[in-house]
Amino acid sequence: MLKSRKGGLCNEKILLIILFILGITFLSACGPNTWVLEKERLGEVGSIENYVWQLQNKKTKFRGYRVFTISEGKKMVVVSTGSTDKTLEFTGADVSNNNTTISVEEVSKVSGEENSYILIGINKIKGELTVVNEREEKFIAFE
């Protein structure tokens, strides 16, 4: 009787672990799946590297964003401050049926770049994309 009870507890633990893993997998599949790409990896996508070069040399005052398609249809959003004394921190993304909003925080900090920028990856953009800062001020799209 003791052995069957032990085996039952073991089976319950395995079942709980499996349910936990399935729950985490389900929740991760529901989110917008975003990430920030390290600037050291910029060379992995030539078109983005070229655009960042433009931000640092020709478009140093441009405050806005540009969207690039990267591997497997995923998107990379390059957001720039248009200044040397602000940096950007990604704070979140909200993807709904009709629009996608990416939120960043502008931090007063000298960046060492002519036009400080951040590289934000997102699996999918639904509808219209808007990029806003912590005060809900919109960044303009690059044309």
- What is the pLDDT, as a whole number, of residue 24? 56
Residue with the bigger pLDDT between 30 and 12: it is 12
- pTM, entire model: 0.77
Q: What is the pLDDT of residues 85-121, one digit of tens each?
A: 999 999 999 998 889 999 999 999 999 999 999 999 9
Residue 11 pLDDT = 73
Residue of higher predicted confidence among 73 and 77: 77
Which residue do the tokens 């917008």 mark? 32
Query: What six digits make up the tokens of 65?
Result: 């964003």
Average pLDDT, the chain: 87
Per residue in 34-75, pLDDT tens? 999 999 999 888 899 999 999 999 999 999 999 999 988 899
Q: What is the distance in angstroms between the CA of the first residue and the CA of the last residue of the chain?
A: 74
CA dihedral (26, 94, 129, 142) positive or negative:
negative
Is residue 83 helix, strand or coil? Answer: coil
Model confidence at 31: pLDDT above 70: no
| Strands in 5-137 per DSSP E | 34-36, 64-69, 75-80, 86-95, 99-108, 117-122, 128-132
Res 32: pLDDT: 58
